[in-house]
Homo-oligomer: A and B are copies of this chain.
Amino acid sequence: MTGAVPDGFELLVLDCGHNDSFGPAYVNLPEHKIGFRVGPQHLNPVGGLHGGAMATFADMQISAVGPEAYDAHRATISLTVDFMAPVGPGTWVEAEVVCPKQTRTLVFTQAIITADGAPVARTSGIYRNASKTA
């Protein structure tokens, strides 16, 4: 059913213009998951998910690392996205975020991104580790 959000996900509340423009994204913090449903505002000229929309979603991976995501802004240092398959409109896109390492200054995160359960992209990010709230 287009528009439905899987159980366990709640709206990611990030009060900023860019997230408003992207549209609703959802997190399942206990499972370190983040997701969104592909809408008209995410589409490229040939009717699939735009690479830039996927990259925007990939950059949100830091928000699913844990509850502290709501309290601190962590600046992105490096973001890589590899696109493995096209994604159609209406699809539920989801990432289970892994944090293989956190140092005093850096947070490393990564995810395989699925669309309706099939792998369509993967991403890795390096973020600045902020010890204090924004």
Name A's B-contacting residues (CB within 8 A). Answer: 14-22, 39-46, 50-53, 55-60, 73, 75-86, 100-101, 103, 105-106, 108, 110, 112, 119, 122, 124, 126, 134
Which chain B positions have C-beta within 8 A of A124?
80, 82, 122, 124
How far, in Å, is A22 (CB) from chain B's closest CB?
7
Q: Are B119 and A101 in contact (CB under 8 A)?
A: yes
How far, in Å, is A46 (CB) from chain B's closest CB?
5
Which chain B positions have C-beta within 8 A of A82?
77-79, 108, 124, 126
Q: Are B43 and A77 in contact (CB under 8 A)?
A: no
In order of increasing CB-CB distance, the 7 nearest A-B pairs are: A52-B56, A55-B55, A18-B50, A51-B76, A84-B101, A52-B59, A21-B41
Which chain B positions have C-beta within 8 A of A19?
45, 50
Also in contact, A100 and B83, with CB within 8 A (given A16-B45, A44-B18, A45-B14): no
A57 and B79 CA atoms in complex are apart in Å by 13
